[in-house]
Amino acid sequence: MSAVVLMIAGLMYSCQSRINQANFEKIEPGMTQAAVLDLLGEPTESSSVNFAGLSGTASEWTDGDTTIAIQFFNGKVKFKTFSKSSKKP
């Protein structure tokens, strides 16, 4: 019986979205792009540019009404935003 409860708890935990305020707050300026990917998973959208040895990437993670947007400069977090749209009846 306890194995079933643990399995259900594990499934519920794994189904929770990584795109949330708590994970957003873990992201710090200077954090590597690889560390952000470990935390949030692959982005919903991403675009990159490279010029004269410099690189920039803008990535967004979206789940439902929640979006985390991050701009990376040379593979490290430069700017981040969190938005959650409020649904009106």
Is 13 part of a structural domain of the chain? Answer: no
What is the reported pTM? 0.78
- Looking at residue 38, which CATH number applies to its domain? 3.30.1450.10
Is 2 part of a structural domain of the chain? Answer: no
Number of domains making up the chain: 1
Q: Which comes out higher in pLDDT, residue 70 or 9?
A: 70
- Torsion angle defined by CA atoms of residues 11, 13, 14 and 16, in that order, rounded to the nearest 10 degrees: 120
- Token pair 């690189």 is at which residue? 55
Is 77 part of a structural domain of the chain? Answer: yes
Q: Which comes out higher in pLDDT, residue 20 or 4?
A: 20
Is 48 part of a structural domain of the chain? Answer: yes
Is 61 part of a structural domain of the chain? Answer: yes
Residue span of the structural domain in which 55 resides: 19-84
Is 5 part of a structural domain of the chain? Answer: no
With a pLDDT cut of 70, the percent of the chain lying above it is: 80
